[in-house]
Amino acid sequence: MHGGRLQINADPGLTVIGSSSKFKQALINLLKNSIEAFKEDGYIEINAYEEDGEATIWIKDNGEGMDEAQIAKLGVPYFSTKSKGTGLGTMVTFRIIEVMKGTIEFKSRKGQGTEVLIRLPLAGDAAGEEPAAADVLPNNLDV
C-alpha cells in the first residue's frame, strides 16, 4: 500500500442480497483506486453499518482527490483520472451496485481525498429473498 494504512470498522452480521464475488470485486476496484491515488502515508478508512434500514458502506481516503468535472464523469467507460487507468473498473463498480439495487455517491476535493458512500438494501428487506452466508459484509478484507 505504498506505506499506507487501512482501517475497517464493520457491524457484525450486516447482510445484503447479491453476489458476494461481484460485491467483493466492486470493493476491490474502489480500494485499488484509493491506493493508487495516495502518495506517502496514505490512509483508507472503511465503515460498514446499518442506517435508515439500509447497509451503508463509507470509504474515505486521503489521496489526490478529484474536481467536480472528474466526479461527474465517473462510471463513463474509458474515463480515468490515472494515466494507466482504463475507467472500466469504476464503470463495472457502478453496474454491480445498481444490480444489487443500491446507490453509490462520490464526494471529493482536489488535494483532500475522496469519500464513497454506498447504500444497499438489507437482506431482510427483500421480499422472500434469503441471503447466502457469503453475502455477509466482512469486518476485514484482504486486498
* pTM of the full structure: 0.80
Could you list the pLDDT tens digit for every one of the 143 residues in the chain?
A: 457 899 999 999 899 988 899 999 999 999 998 988 887 789 999 999 999 999 999 999 999 998 898 888 787 776 666 667 666 888 899 999 999 999 999 999 998 999 999 999 998 754 445 444 334 444 444 33
DSSP the chain: -TT-EEEEEE-TT-BBSS-HHHHHHHHHHHHHHHHHH--SS-EEEEEEEEETTEEEEEEEE-S----HHHHHHTTSTT--SSSS--SHHHHHHHHHHHHTT-EEEEEEETTTEEEEEEEEEBGGGSTT----GGGBPPSS---
Q: Which domains does the chain have, with CATH numbers?
A: 5-125 (3.30.565.10)
